[in-house]
Amino acid sequence: MASKCGINKLCSMTCCGCKVDVKALKPLVNAPKYICKCCGRVANKKANLCTPVSLK
């Protein structure tokens, strides 16, 4: 299903439990520096979030 989040974004990768691939997600979130303002996900790179803001 399409959402406003891009296909590479954690936001869409994790929006529904049935398509969460923990193995693929782990290296993207193991040292989070950004949090998504729209859905609250965290990620190492802001490229993986739809509305990233720094965690600092």
Under rule CB under 5 A, residue 43 binds Zn ion: no
User: How far apart are CB 5 and Zn ion at their closest, in Å?
Assistant: 5
Between CA 33 and CA 42 the distance in angstroms is 7
Under rule CB under 5 A, residue 38 binds Zn ion: yes
User: How far apart are CB 7 and Zn ion at their closest, in Å?
Assistant: 13
Measured at CB, which residue is nearest to Zn ion? 11
Residues 6+ apart with CB under 8 A from 50: 4, 5, 6, 9, 11, 12, 36, 38, 39
Binding region for Zn ion (CB under 5 A): 11, 36, 38-39, 50
